[in-house]
Amino acid sequence: MPFEGLASIEQWATTKDYILSVTKFYNGDTLPSVDDLDWVIVMGGPMNIYEDDKHPWLTLEKYFLEEAIKKNKIVIGICLGSQLIADVLGSNTNLI
Q: Which tens digit of pLDDT belongs to each residue from 7-39?
A: 889 999 999 999 999 999 999 999 999 999 999
C-alpha 62/C-alpha 30 separation (Å) is 15
pTM assigned to the model: 0.87
DSSP annotation of 82 reads H
C-alpha 50/C-alpha 55 separation (Å) is 9
What pLDDT, on a 0 to 100 scale, did the predictor assign at position 92? 74
The residues, ordered by sequence, that sit 6+ positions from 35 with a Cβ below 8 Å of its Cβ are 71
What pLDDT, on a 0 to 100 scale, did the predictor assign at position 86? 94
C-alpha 81/C-alpha 75 separation (Å) is 10
Whether residue 3 is predicted with pLDDT greater than 80 in this model: the reply is no
Q: Which tens digit of pLDDT belongs to each residue from 63-81?
A: 999 999 999 999 999 999 9
Mean pLDDT of 28-53: 93
Is the Cβ–Cβ distance between 86 and 96 less than 8 Å?
A: yes
